[in-house]
Amino acid sequence: MFAYYLDLALRSLKRNKVLTALMVLAIAVGIGASMTTLTVVHLLSGDPIPGKSGVLFFPQVDPENPARADHTEPYPAMDYRSATDLWNAHRADRQALVTSSPVKVRAPETGRPPLILSMLSTTADFFPMFEVPFQYGSGWSAQDDASHARVAVISADLNAKLFGGANSVGRSLRVRDTDVRIVGVLKPWRPTPLFYDPWSQNFSKTEDVFAPFASSMEINEGNFQAYTCWHVPDDTHHLQNSDCVWVWLWVELDSPAKANSYARFVTDYAEQQKAMGRFAIGKEHVRVRDVMTMLTARGMVPDDVRLQAWLASAFLAICLFNAVGLLLAKFLRRSGEIGVRRALGASRRAIFSQCLVEAGVIGLLGGFFGWLLTLTGLWLVRQQPVDYAHLAHVDTVMFLTTFVTAVATSLLAGLIPALRASRVVPAWQLKAL
């Protein structure tokens, strides 16, 4: 029966090629536009570190004193003292201090011109915590952190640029005016969004140079910039004692119980600081969020992208209305034919499924072309001058979603017309013939 309906549907579609093309095109365009933007939204709100995002936490406290009345959330950064206090307590399974600064880098042996790069200052746990992949060598040790060792890890990009991609472990790099020894070279690594550094642009590349926190404070002194300050720093070149936030703390807590007890620890710390008079706001502004919660609170998906997604959904709705109207007109125009079939004994259900098959064929065709349009749309997004452009690719989830949406859309579009057609009264139609 299905094969017969399919044959009927194809015949009917062939009868009016222009109209069929219009309907397929409308569905295809609607699907293409909406799936392109939804894919972008889906990719931008993705998990940057799947499998571990649930155990990585971003503690926040609010050191601003006096507090501003319009300040309802703590800053996405800490002052040096709070961050190091919490870090020094070693209450987490793993923990890393993080901050970034611009720095001049060159490899004296290569004779290449110097580069201004972004340097990430962090502590040893950073690499195992965020599962950073190494091409050569490894990260530094906690001992290196403590002894202010002059070591660094560099990105695959920088290694390619300076050393042609060769194993550069053990070679030296001049970071500002200090020679540091390269201990590790990363594999290409680009967590998206760049979750661990809330200051950088959300979808930018990772830093090119990673150096121990304490060493880099000395190497690049004066080049660290504050996220914001609430008192004028006495010395802008020395933010350690300033009323400025500029350091991030990340902790790994392997079980919910540990996460709870860590949250209590941070709360106690904030309350204690408030009691001492250093904080104006204590536990009310303590946040210990895991990666995804933090990203949602930060709003990673750019406004423009969300607007586009809304627009595309409205667009899909317009295309859907369009398809329903055209299908309805098409089916009802065949009322005579349907009347004859009904009179000859076809049940309502048979007419209904016949019409639905026809709608489904249109949907499949629309879905196929819509999928091609989605690919084109994503190619267009990749050509855009936006920092998330490189992300725009179809993944399996979105590929399936596209097809399911296409068929569901057209079946939905076919539903009302098919229902209406199956209710055609045979006698009236026969009379009119």
Partner 1 sequence: MEIRPIFASLRKHRIPACLIVLEIALACAVLCNAVFMISQRVSDIHLGNAIDEQGTATVVLRGTDDKLVGSDIPRNLAALRGIAGVQAVAVTSTLPLSHNNWGWSFGLDPDATISDQKSHNVSLYFVGEGADQALGLRLLQGRFFNGDEYAGSKFDTAPLPETHVVVITQSLAKKLWPGQSALGKTLYSMPHYYAVIGVVADVLRPAIGTHSGPYTYDSTYYPISAGGSKGVLAYYVIRSAPQDRERILREAEQKLASLNPGAVTKAQTYSDIREKYFADMSSMAWMLVLVCVVMLAVTAFGIVGLTSFWVGQRRRQIGIRRAVGATRGHIMQYFQTENLLLTSVGVVVGMALAFGINLYLMQHYEMSRMPWYYLPGGALALWLLGQASVFGPAQKAASVPPVVATRSV
Interacting residues toward partner 1 by CB under 8 A: 19, 22-23, 25-26, 29-30, 33, 64, 66, 68-70, 102, 104, 113-116, 222, 229-237, 303-304, 306-308, 311-312, 314-315, 317-319, 321-322, 324-326, 328-330, 332-333, 384-386, 416, 420
Least distance from C-beta 285 to partner 1, angstroms?
16
Q: How far is the CB of 235 from partner 1 (least distance, A)?
A: 4
State whether residue 201 is helix, strand or coil. coil
Quote the CA–CA distance of 404 and 133 in Å, as a whole number. Answer: 36
Nearer to partner 1, 165 or 222 (CB): 222
Of the pair 386, 394, the CB lying nearest partner 1 is at 386
Distance CA 141, CA 144 (A): 5
Secondary structure of 92-105 in the HEC alphabet? CCEEEEEEEEEEEE
Which residue, 95 or 322, is less far from partner 1 as judged by CB?
322
Two structure tokens written together for 148: 């202010």
Query: First-to-last CA distance in the chain?
Result: 27
C-alpha to C-alpha distance for 286 and 382, rounded to whole angstroms = 39
Q: How far is the CB of 356 from partner 1 (least distance, A)?
A: 16
CB atoms within 10 A of CB 307: 11
Q: Distance between CA 32 and CA 281 in Å, rounded?
A: 49
State the nearest-atom distance from the C-beta of 103 to partner 1, in Å: 9
Q: Which residue number, 169 or 219, has a Cβ lying nearer to partner 1?
A: 219
Residue matched to tokens 């909406």? 34
Q: Which of 355, 347, 341 is nearest to 415 (CA)?
A: 355
CB of 135 to partner 1, least distance (A): 26
Of 108 and 128, nearer to partner 1 (C-beta) is 108
- Going along 111-236, which residue ranges are E strands? 115-122, 134-137, 151-154, 172-175, 178-186, 209-212, 228-229
CA neighbours closer than 13 Å in the CB half-sphere of residue 367: 20
Structure tokens that stand for 1 in this block: 């029966």
**Nearer CB in complex with partner 1: 85/221:** 221
What is the torsion angle, in degrees rounded to the nearest 10, for the CA atoms of residue 311, residue 313, residue 316 and residue 320?
-130
What minimum distance in Å lies between the beta carbon of 333 and partner 1?
6
Closest to 193 measured CA to CA, from 396, 43, 393: 43
Between strands 209-212 and 115-122, the pairing is: parallel
For partner 1, the closer CB: 66 or 277: 66
Question: CB of residue 186 vs partner 1: minimum separation in angstroms?
Answer: 23
Q: Is 94 or 330 the residue whose CB approaches partner 1 more closely? A: 330
Phi, psi of 292 (to 5 degrees): -70, -40
CB-CB contact of 35 with 395 (8 Å):
no
Closest approach of Cβ 361 to partner 1, in Å? 17
- Which residue, 96 or 328, has its beta carbon nearer to partner 1? 328
Token pair listed for 424: 């055609």
Rounded least distance, CB 242 to partner 1, Å: 10
Cβ contact 56:252 at 8 Å: yes
When the beta carbons of 1 and 432 are compared against partner 1, the nearer one is 432
Report, in Å, the least distance between residue 387 CB and partner 1. Answer: 9
